[in-house]
């Protein structure tokens, strides 16, 4: 893949992560004034799951923790994450060196966590997360290396 197209693909990926986080946070905020535990219990019952089983228990525990969290901090955290992803996507789309650095660093920060998760719970989802993140880091390091060598990415071929 041409370097510019690769950078733009990563830009779309980063923007999608930001928008997905925004959508998820919006959904959580819409549910804040509802009894989340009752909603989660109804979902578990609707799916005919045992509330004491592992996954339903984890869902109920997460709902309880969400209700205990400080909503303001959660909202600020999501806003910061979304802003970072969208600004990073803009910079990558326009071939900015600072965005390549941000993408390489942010991807590198997540790699050890994703690798640990892949070892603890092997599966297609954890393997995909590791591979995608490693590919992003490799692409960004390659772009930074080309830039350092005085060969920034040229315009994409027609």
Q: What are phi and psi of 150, to 5 degrees?
A: 85, 20
pLDDT for 100 equals 93
Res. 70 pLDDT band, cuts 50 70 90: low
The yes-or-no verdict on residue 81 having pLDDT over 60 is: yes
Assigned token pair, 126: 């954890």
The yes-or-no verdict on residue 35 having pLDDT over 80 is: no
Phi-psi region of 112 (alpha: psi -120 to 50; beta: other; left: phi over 0): alpha
Looking at residues 54-58, what average pLDDT do you find? 79
Q: What are phi and psi of 21, to 5 degrees?
A: -65, -40
Phi-psi region of 83 (alpha: psi -120 to 50; beta: other; left: phi over 0): alpha
Q: CA dihedral in degrees (12, 13, 18, 21; nearest 10)?
A: 140
Looking at residues 140-151, what average pLDDT do you find? 87
């Amino acid at each position: 893949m041409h370097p510019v197209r690769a950078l733009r693909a990563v830009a779309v990926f980063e923007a999608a992560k930001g928008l997905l986080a925004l959508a998820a946070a919006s959904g959580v905020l819409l549910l804040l004034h509802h009894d989340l535990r009752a909603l989660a219990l109804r979902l578990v019952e609707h799916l005919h799951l045992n509330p004491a089983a592992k996954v339903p228990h984890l869902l109920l525990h997460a709902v309880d923790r969400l209700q205990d969290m400080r909503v303001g901090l959660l909202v600020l955290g999501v806003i910061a994450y979304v802003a970072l992803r969208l600004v990073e996507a803009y910079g990558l789309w326009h071939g900015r060196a600072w965005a390549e650095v941000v993408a390489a660093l942010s991807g590198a920060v997540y790699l050890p966590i994703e690798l640990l998760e892949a070892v603890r719970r092997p599966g297609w989802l954890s393997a995909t997360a590791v591979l995608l993140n490693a590919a992003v880091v490799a692409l960004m390091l390659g772009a930074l290396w080309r830039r350092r060598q005085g060969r920034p990415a040229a315009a994409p071929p027609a």
